[in-house]
Amino acid sequence: MKKRWQQELYSLLKCFVFAFIIVVICRNFLFSPSVVHGESMSPTFEDGNKVILSKISDIEHFDMIVFHAPDQDANYIKRVIGLPGDTVSMKDDVLYINGKAYTESYLKENKLGATTAKLTGDFTLEEETGEKTVPSNSLFVLGDNRLKSKDSRDFGFISDKSVIGKVVLRIYPLNEIGLP
C-alpha cells in the first residue's frame, strides 16, 4: 500500500514538473501577458487592460506591439505604422505609407472627440527622424490617441530587438475579451 502511494505521489510530481516546464517555455518563447498603462492607445486599449502577446508572430502594418521604451524604463504599446524600407507621412489627417493613402478607422472615435482641427499634425518621416525611409531592423510606431501619445514622433524609430510581442488577444476586462 505504501509503495503504491509513493508511486502515485511520484507520478503527480512528474506531472507538475512537466506542466511547469511547459508554462516556462511558452511564456518565454511563445506567449506572454502584458498590462496596458496610460491612455496613448485609447479607445482601442484603456489603462489597466490586459493582453496576450505573441512572441513568434510576424509584424505587419497596423499591428499593435509592446516594446521596451527607448526613453525610459517601461514598456509601451503602440501601433506599427512603418516597416523597414517604408516612407511615412501625414497630411490633413490622412496617413500615407509609401505614397498610398490609408484610412485609419481605429481613430474615428478620437477624431469625433478632438478639440483641435487635426488629430495628427502634418509630418514626413524625414522631418520627424531625419531619415527618408524606415531603416532596416527598425519600426515607426504611433499611438491611437495621437494628441496624448508619446511615440516615434517623439523618440524616433524603435529597434525590432526591443519588441516584446504582438498583441493577439485582450483578456481583461472580461466583457471585452477577444481579438484586438
Residue pLDDT, tens place only, 41-71:
999 999 999 999 999 999 999 999 999 999 8
Collapse the DSSP code of 28 into the 3-class scheme (helix H, G, I; strand E, B; otherwise coil) and give the result: helix
- Residues 36, 47: Cα–Cα separation, whole Å: 5
- pLDDT, average across residues 29-34: 89
Hey, how many other C-beta atoms are within 10 angstroms of the C-beta on 98?
13
Cell numbers linked to 111: 477624431
Residue pLDDT, tens place only, 146-164:
988 999 999 999 999 999 9
Catalytic residue among 40, 42, 138, 149: 40
Residue with cell 508554462: 23
Lowest-confidence region among 51-60, 77-86, 101-110, 138-147: 101-110
Residue 145's pLDDT band, with cuts at 50, 70 and 90, is very high
Cell numbers linked to 61: 502594418
Would you call 2 a catalytic residue per the annotation?
Answer: no
- Residues 145, 111: Cα–Cα separation, whole Å: 9
The dihedral sign for the CA sequence 146, 151, 152, 154: positive
Q: What average pLDDT is seen over the chain?
A: 91
Alpha helices, DSSP H, located in the chain: 2-25, 108-113, 125-129, 152-155
Q: Which domains does the chain have, with CATH numbers?
A: 33-176 (2.10.109.10)
Would you call 78 a catalytic residue per the annotation?
Answer: yes
Q: Are 74 and 66 in contact (CB under 8 A)?
A: no
Catalytic residue among 42, 78, 152, 166: 78
* pLDDT score of 33 more than 80: yes
